[in-house]
Chain A
């Protein structure tokens, strides 16, 4: 489990002076003020904030889908951007789960999960074995041959998580993955995600605008304020793993939620 003293020595993700300026017809618009942020190996870090706070922008920059205007991004000690080009080696350590599962409807669930392996030229057998293993891990065994469309929203996100895990990345980046799910499914997915994270021991950066979700999942919560996006505060969440849903009724949990809500309302 992430031990803060030990983890501080090995930063998995390092952002130094990263900002993002979008050029528009009305001039430059700063989406993100310069940000410094470190994520320790094995940490579960949550980016929390209202819409427009740049949390997705930060995640996309870490993911290498968006180049920062200034500053450096390091993944496992490697520079992600070298002279404006993305370093493919650094990207290989990243698995990404998007807000809408973004599965390919023309592939079966199994083929979707194995897509990253297929792109890397793995044998059909290796693809199938890995997909089976991951279906079991994320709890969708028995649906390997179905079309994504035949799955519920929660199951589609499970498949998307399995796809992101298929090449054993060190880091999982998740952009409001459960935002479109109903409250009950969401609670269940949070528990499942915690289990998968504990099982895998990977680093997770998780974007959400739900305070209870952030407090339940995170080791640390980075609260962002909007226009332009900047770090408002960083909150440590001390509860033991693995956390159960009942932790939400804990007074200490409530205190953190209240504190974060107060900060959000003050923005």
Chain B
């Protein structure tokens, strides 16, 4: 098959966006939808302009980004650390497993008021919510990665008399990295959700708070603008996380295949 030199998505993505906006505008005008329910795209655009003209927007954006990244960092350190330990110590995994699962089946959003009660209305409570939500996929993927090491490669290390730490550093951890990164990709998205929902429920800063505030002021077009900004922030963070893959595991199939596709 021969593909054009320009990636197909460069054409399809703008076309789909334009079609979506057109359909949206036609729907609102034909059915005379109230602007408090669904504003026209052009009105949302005005909202975006207004949003970016307001200095406090940047402060809110920074707060949400900071909470997300901090929560995600905590989740990553604990998730990988605990995952590695549990992967290496089966009896500990069996002992702790019910508790870890329990922390995950509890609806964490319901715990947010509690976190706010304990850690206040500031960013700390949001960071903790973010960390708690993002932690689980990182933990389970690390655990899976550590336990999925190839038997043949283990034999190599055994036959070379490698110590436990040497085996971890040269075999188990690198072997688990693709799985760990997948967990982190899920984790960063959950971290954003954690931070924003935390801001919805309490506090006076961040894009989640801003969304609630604009709704309270009946500025629905501004609410849409905030949602778009949130999406953009999430997109940037996710893309940043995904592009890490290329540098951390350049040897992995997921990266090599991508490279071949670009080359082909």
- Residues on A lying within 8 angstroms of B by beta carbon are 63-65, 88, 91-92, 94, 96, 98-100, 102, 104-106, 115-116, 118-119, 147, 149
| Interface 9-mer from B51-59, B158-166, B201-209 | B158-166
Count of A-B residue pairs with CB < 8 Å: 53
Q: Is the CB of B161 within 8 A of A149?
A: no
Q: Is the CB of A104 within 8 A of B152?
A: no
Assess A116 versus B256: contact at CB under 8 Å? Given A98-B152, A100-B152, A102-B155: no
CB-CB nearest in chain A for B150: A102
Residues of B near A119 (CB, < 8 A) are 160-162, 166, 170
Instruction: Given A63-B159, A104-B174, A106-B175, output 6 extra A-B contacts at Cβ < 8 Å.
Output: A65-B155, A91-B159, A96-B155, A106-B249, A118-B170, A119-B160
| Count of chain B residues with a beta carbon within 8 Å of a chain A beta carbon | 22
B114 touches A (CB below 8 Å): no
Q: Is the CB of B170 within 8 A of A88?
A: no
CB-CB nearest in chain A for B256: A149
Residues of B near A115 (CB, < 8 A) are 156, 160, 170
B171 touches A (CB below 8 Å): yes
Q: Is the CB of A102 within 8 A of B160?
A: no
Q: Is the CB of A147 within 8 A of B156?
A: no
**Max chain B Cβ within 10 angstroms of own Cβ: one of A94, A100, A115:** A115
Q: Give the CA-CA distance A119 to B171 in the complex, in Å.
A: 12
* Binary per-residue interface labels of chain B (154-194) against chain A in the complex, 1 for a CB within 8 Å, 0 otherwise: 01101111100010001100110100000000000000000
CB-CB nearest in chain B for A116: B160
Q: Give the CA-CA distance A118 to B171 in the complex, in Å.
A: 13
CB distance from A63 to the nearest CB of B (A): 6
Q: Is the CB of B170 within 8 A of A64?
A: no
B153 touches A (CB below 8 Å): yes
Q: Is the CB of B158 within 8 A of A98?
A: no
7 A–B pairs (Cβ distance < 8 Å), ordered by A? A64-B159, A98-B152, A98-B155, A105-B251, A106-B174, A147-B250, A147-B256
Q: Give the CA-CA distance A100 to B152 in the complex, in Å.
A: 8
Cross-interface CB contact of B251 among A64, A118, A147, cutoff 8 Å: A147
Residues of A near B158 (CB, < 8 A) are 65
B35 touches A (CB below 8 Å): no
CB distance from B154 to the nearest CB of A (A): 9
CB distance from A135 to the nearest CB of B (A): 18
Residues of B near A102 (CB, < 8 A) are 150, 152-153, 155-156
Cross-interface CB contact of B161 among A91, A99, A105, A106, cutoff 8 Å: A91
Q: Give the CA-CA distance A179 to B174 in the complex, in Å.
A: 28
Q: Is the CB of B159 within 8 A of A94?
A: yes
- Chain B, 53-80, CB within 8 A of any chain A CB: none
Residues of A near B170 (CB, < 8 A) are 104, 115, 118-119
Q: Which 6 A-B pairs have the closest CB atoms?
A: A102-B152, A106-B174, A96-B159, A147-B251, A105-B251, A106-B251
CB-CB nearest in chain B for A150: B256
Q: Give the CA-CA distance A106 to B250 in the complex, in Å.
A: 8
